[in-house]
Amino acid sequence: MTLLVTGTAGFIGSCVLRQLIAETQETIISIDALTYAGNPLSFGDAAKSPRHHFEHADIRDEPRMQAIFERYQPRAILHLAAESHVDRSIHGPAEFVSTNVIGTLTLLQVALDYWRKLPEPRKSAFRFQHISTDEVFGSLSPSDPAFEETTAYAPNSPYSASKAGSDHLVRAWHHTYGLPTLMTNCSNNYGPYHFPEKLIPLMILNALDGKPLPVYGDGLNVRDWLYVEDHARALRLVLERGTPGETYNVGGAAERANIEVVNTLCSILDELHPQGAPHERLITYVKDRPGHDRRYAINFSKLESELGWRPQESFETGLRKTVRWYLDNPDWVASVRSGDYRHWLEKNYEKRDA
């Protein structure tokens, strides 16, 4: 039994990889282009497993993808590789369309050719699982009901537009060609191995360095937070028991305004790293993100009622574990703070108005 997983050197893909190696007997072929966001150190213990085979490859490289499918004959693919950061998509949208839309198209075509030639029963059992985001549904007002699987798409950023484009391709490849696809749309993840361009790891590392904690706008934008291990469990459940052609929302039932998240992080840091206390003194309001979505919230009742999934980690315990992990893993932190990372901080923050 062999699974292909793309984006395994990134935040969520590496978690899926580590879980699959630790909790199953499957062979995992992991594919990653090792962009600025990909780090082989995130493989953790999976790096040493004889059941993990890493292919350093770009999902847009069609001959390479064909060769990987031919060689390993996977039973399914979990597709997580993407450009994932909204702020970067505002500075440079083309790479997002290229990887998220063209990359997904490439994988769909290669998977379709492969799937068509599979003998039964392997053909019926094959799955193409596409990992997407709640951002494709747009922005909610405070009183709107949470996003459902049937909510109309209304992407607002270049990132979410590119993810929406890839979602539509996946839908069409099922509807037109019959490819057995699965799709999940998940809310904001947090946890270990999260690249420090995103809110939670950026705040933790800035606070440890005594640097400003840059809160966009009024700090009242709301996100629904899910611990990454819970997301990985949901993806595995959908892979095994989801119905082809269906989409499933995944969420944390943990809506928080950004300023609440930052205040909670500061309190945890005051306790675990008292040298810098009170960390709240570092909070700095900065110019808002253009087109900043106000609120995301996910209704995951379909996943709960059909497949029995619920998040296991509470936001407070998950956040504490996350801070602890960053304190305990300075080597990983040092390895991702490359020249590219410093360049990004300068581009996104240093020339920003207060």
Residues of this chain that bind ligand DAU (CB under 6 A): 84-86, 133-135, 187-188, 198-199, 202, 214-216, 221, 223, 258, 289, 296
How far, in Å, are 147, 161, 267, 290, 294 from residue 223 at the CA level?
A: 12, 18, 19, 17, 8
Please confirm, yes or no, whether 72 is among the known catalytic residues: no
Q: Which of 32, 55, 159, 190 is catalytic?
A: 159
d(C-alpha 140, C-alpha 223), whole Å: 10
Q: Which of 32, 55, 58, 135 is catalytic?
A: 135
Q: Which of 55, 83, 134, 313 is catalytic?
A: 134
| Residue 99 engages ligand NAD in binding (rule: CB under 6 A) | yes
Cβ closest to ligand DAU, residue 51 vs residue 302: 302
Cβ closest to ligand NAD, residue 164 vs residue 282: 164
d(C-alpha 306, C-alpha 243), whole Å: 10
| Residue 155 engages ligand NAD in binding (rule: CB under 6 A) | no
- Tell me which of ligand NAD, ligand DAU, none is bound by residue 221, counting a contact when its beta carbon lies within the kind-specific cut-off of 5 to 8 angstroms: ligand DAU
d(C-alpha 269, C-alpha 33), whole Å: 34
Q: How far is the CB of 326 from ligand NAD (least distance, A)?
A: 15
Segment contacting ligand NAD by CB under 6 A, of 7-15, 148-156, 235-243, 300-308: 7-15
| Residue 196 engages ligand NAD in binding (rule: CB under 6 A) | no
DSSP for 195-259, written as a single string: -TTSHHHHHHHHHHTT--EEEETTS--EEEEEEHHHHHHHHHHHHHHPPTT-EEEE--S-EEEHH
How far, in Å, are 204, 278, 281 from residue 198 at the CA level?
A: 10, 22, 20
| Residue 38 engages ligand NAD in binding (rule: CB under 6 A) | yes
How far, in Å, are 221, 348, 351 from residue 218 at the CA level?
A: 8, 18, 19
Q: How far is the CB of 291 from ligand NAD (least distance, A)?
A: 17
Q: How far is the CB of 56 from ligand NAD (least distance, A)?
A: 9
Q: Which residue in the shown chain puts its C-beta closest to ligand NAD?
A: 10
Q: How far is the CB of 160 from ligand NAD (least distance, A)?
A: 9
Per-residue interface string for the shown chain with ligand NAD, residues 15-34, x marking contact by CB under 6 A: -----------------xxx
Contact 130, 11 (CB under 8 A): no
Q: Which stretches within the chain are classed as H helix?
A: 11-23, 62-72, 86-91, 93-96, 104-117, 122-125, 158-177, 199-208, 228-241, 258-272, 301-307, 315-328, 330-336, 339-345
Please confirm, yes or no, whether 135 is among the known catalytic residues: yes
Contact 51, 44 (CB under 8 A): no
Which helix (H) or strand (E) segment is 29 a member of? strand 27-32
| Residue 192 engages ligand NAD in binding (rule: CB under 6 A) | no
d(C-alpha 276, C-alpha 285), whole Å: 19
Q: How far is the CB of 295 from ligand NAD (least distance, A)?
A: 15
Please confirm, yes or no, whether 260 is among the known catalytic residues: no
- Geometric angle at alpha carbon 276, from 206 and 228, rounded to 5°: 45
Cβ closest to ligand DAU, residue 68 vs residue 265: 265
Among 7, 155, 180, 251, binds ligand NAD (CB under 6 A): 7
d(C-alpha 195, C-alpha 115), whole Å: 34
| Residue 163 engages ligand NAD in binding (rule: CB under 6 A) | yes
Q: Would you name the residues annotated as active-site residues?
A: 134-135, 159
Q: What is the binding site for ligand NAD (CB under 6 A)?
A: 6-7, 9-13, 32-35, 37-38, 58-60, 80-84, 99, 103, 131, 133, 163, 186, 188-189, 195
